[in-house]
Structure 1
Amino acid sequence: MKRTYAQQPRRYTGRATVLAGVLVALALAYTYPVRVYLNQQSDIARIEAAQQAQRELIGDLTEEAALWDDPEYVKIQARERFFMVLPGESPLVVLVDRKGAARDAGVDPKAAERAPQPWYDTLWSSVQAANEPDRAGR
C-alpha cells in the first residue's frame, strides 16, 4: 500500500497578496497627511502657549500702568530713580568706592581689593582717617 500525503495549503493566496499590497499602499498614502496633521497640532499648541504668555505680559503691564495713576507711587519712583527730594529735605547718596576709600584711609588699594575688611574695621579706619590732619593742607 502506498501512502498519500495531503497537500499543504499555500500560505499566501493571490487574494491575500493583493489585500496586503492594498493595505501597504493605504498606509503609505495616509502617512504624509497624518504627519502634516501632527505638525499642525504642535504648531497650534506652540502658538497658543505664546499667546498665553503675551496675555500674561499684557496683564502685568496693565497693572504696572495702573500704579502710575497713583501720585504717591509717582513720588516714590521719582525719589528712587532720579534721587529727587521734596523742598527742605537733604538728599543722601551713598557711593561705594572701595579704591577711593582705601586711598583716603592711607591703605594700598590693591590690598583692599584682595581681602575685604569687616565693617567694624572699615569704620575704625575711617574714624582714624578723620582724626588725622588734612593732607591737602586745607
Structure 2
Amino acid sequence: GAARGAEGVRSASRLAAARRTAAGGSVKRLSAPQPRRFTGRATVMFAVLIALALAYTYPVRVYLDQQADIERMEASQADQRRRIEDLSAEAAKWQDPAYIETQARERFFMGKPGETLLVVLSDPEGAARDGGKGAKPGPPKPPDPWYDTLWSSVQAANAERPDK
C-alpha cells in the first residue's frame, strides 16, 4: 500500500510535468525553490523569548539595585563599627589618670602646684613688631574699585541661607 501511494505521487508529478511541457514547450527550471527562513513555529518561539526577556528585565534590575543597597549599607555598618571601636579606645584612655594629666598639660597649660610653666610662641612677625622692628608703614592702600565691592556683596548675599 505504501509503495503504491508513493508511486501515485510520482505519476501525478510526471503528469504535471507532461502538462507543463505540452502547454509551453520545454520548461527550464533556473533555480531551486528557497525554503522559508522562519517557520511559523520559530517566529512564535522568537516572540515568546523576546516577551520573557522583557518581562524579566525589571525584576533583575530591582534585584541588582537591592544588592547594591545591601553592599552600601554593609560598608556603612562596617564604618560605624570601626568608629565605635575608635571611640571605645578613646574612652578607655580617659580612664587612665596619667593620660588625663598629660591632656591637661597639653590642652589647658595646667601644671602641678609649684611648677613654673613656660609657653614658647613661634611668631617672628609678632616678635619683630613687639621689639619695635615692625615693617615700615608704606603708602596707604587705595580703595577697592566699585565693581570689586559690588561682587563681594553679591557673594556675601549668596552665602547667606534663609532660615526655613
Q: Report the TM range for the smaller structure's normalisation.
A: 0.7 to 0.9
Residue equivalent to 1:58? 84
TM-score by length of 1: 0.73
- Partners of 2:126 and 2:60 in 1: CA distance: 70
1:88 shift after superposition: 1.0
Q: Which runs of 5+ in 2 are unaligned?
A: 1-25, 138-164
**Stretches of structure 1 lacking an aligned partner (at least 5 in a row):** 112-138
- Displacement of 1:110 in angstroms is 6.6
For 2:102, the aligned partner's letter is I
Q: Which residue of 2 aligns with 1:14?
A: 40
The aligned runs of 1:1-138 (5 Å cut-off) are 2-4=27-29, 5-109=31-135
Cα gap change, 1:110 to 1:23, in 2 (>3 Å): farther
Greater RCO (CA < 8 Å, at least 6 residues apart): 1
**For the aligned residues, what is the CA RMSD?**
1.8
SS in 1 for 2:132: coil
What's the CA shift string for 1:68-96, capped at 9, x where partnerless?
A: 11110110011111111001100111223
Q: Secondary structure at the match of 2:34?
A: coil
TM-score under structure 2 normalisation?
Answer: 0.62
Cα distance between partner residues in 1 of 2:38 and 2:128: 95
Query: When the two structures are aligned, how many residues end up with a matched partner?
Result: 111
What percent of counterpart residues are identical?
63
Give the match for residue 123 of structure 1. Answer: none
